[in-house]
Amino acid sequence: MKKDKKCHNKYRFKHYQEAFNFAKEYMEQVAMTFYPMVPYWCKRHDLWHIGHDSFKKQEYNVDRILSDRNGENVL
């Protein structure tokens, strides 16, 4: 049985827009993440937290092919 994560160490926001802006700034600062950071409602505390949306995989697009120093394509 999966145990719920405790909320006492998580950021707390009274308003959705505050949580949304924080999550957006986080995504702009972190180079790569597997799942996007999003706000979600916590009914236990009646406020917003942010967390990774494990149902929506983060995708990255590369405009060019990267190669290593030997000329081999990496991406």
pLDDT computed for residue 62 by the predictor: 58
Per-residue tens of pLDDT for the chain, all 75 residues = 344 567 778 889 999 999 999 999 998 898 777 888 999 999 989 999 998 887 776 665 556 555 556 666 555
| pTM of the predicted protein model | 0.62
pLDDT computed for residue 31 by the predictor: 77
Rounded to the nearest angstrom, the gap between the alpha carbon of residue 2 and the centroid of all alpha carbons in its chain is 21
pLDDT computed for residue 52 by the predictor: 83
| CB proximity list for 75: less than 8 A, separation 6 or greater | 62, 65, 66
Give burial (CB, 10 Å; 0-12/13-18/19+) of 10.
middle
Q: What kind and span of H or E run contains 51?
A: strand 47-52
Q: What kind and span of H or E run contains 73?
A: none
pLDDT computed for residue 4 by the predictor: 55
**CA distance linking residue 71 with residue 39, whole number of Å:** 42
